[in-house]
Amino acid sequence: MSAAPRMVLGLSMRYLGYHAGAWRHPDANPAGTADFDHFSRLAIEAEDAGIDLLFLADGVAVRVNDTPAGAFAQSSQVADLEPLTLLSGLAAVTSRVGLIATASTTYNEPYHVARTYASLDRISNGRAGWNVVTSWSDAEARNFGREHTLDYETRYERAQEFVDVVRGLWRSWEPGALVHDKSAGRFLDPARLHALNHVGPHFTVRGPLSVPPSPQGRPVIVQAGASPAGIELAARHADVIYTVPQDLDAAIAYRAALDAKLREVGRDPASVRVLPGIVPFTADTDALARAHYDELNALVPTELGLSYLRAQLGDLSGCELDGPVPEPTDPAVRSIARNLIDMARRDGLTLRQLSQVVAAGFGARVLVGSGRAIADDLQRWMESGAIDGFNLCLPLLPDSLTRFATHVLPELRARGLFRPITEPVTLRERLGLPALAYGQR
Q: Is 94 annotated as a binding residue?
A: no
Terminal Cα distance for the chain, rounded: 35
Asked whether the beta carbons of 342 and 246 are under 8 A apart, the reply is yes
Torsion on CA atoms 316, 322, 323, 325, rounded to nearest 10 = 50
DSSP string, 339-383: HHHHHHHHHT-BHHHHHHHHHHHTTSEEEEEEHHHHHHHHHHHHH
Q: Is 302 annotated as a binding residue?
A: no
Integer CA distances (angstroms), 152 to 108, 332, 338, in order: 17, 8, 16
The span from the CA of 217 to the CA of 396, in Å, is 35
| Bond into 398 cis (ω within 30) | yes
Q: What is the pLDDT of residue 1?
A: 41
Q: What is the pLDDT of residue 363?
A: 80
Q: Is 85 annotated as a binding residue?
A: no
The span from the CA of 241 to the CA of 423, in Å, is 25
Q: Is 376 annotated as a binding residue?
A: no
Rg over alpha carbons for the chain, rounded to the nearest Å, is 22
Which CB contacts under 8 angstroms, 24+ apart, belong to 90-95?
90/39, 90/40, 90/43, 90/54, 91/120, 91/123, 91/124, 91/127, 92/123, 93/40, 93/43, 93/44, 94/43, 94/44, 94/47, 95/47, 95/125, 95/424
| Helix locations, 36-109, DSSP H | 36-49, 69-74, 83-91
Distance of CA 407 to the CA centre of its chain: 24
Q: What is the pLDDT of residue 348?
A: 86
Asked whether the beta carbons of 254 and 226 are under 8 A apart, the reply is yes
Give average pLDDT by consecutive 10-residue segment, the chain, 441 residues: 79 91 92 93 98 95 62 72 97 98 97 98 98 92 93 95 98 95 96 97 98 95 90 96 94 96 96 97 98 93 81 78 77 66 85 85 91 98 97 97 98 96 94 85 71
B/e letters for 166-182, b = 16+ CB within 10 Å, e = fewer, are bbbbbbbbeeebeeeee
Instruction: Select 8-170+201-436's CATH number: 3.40.1280.10, 3.90.640.10, 1.10.287.1080, 3.20.20.30.
Output: 3.20.20.30
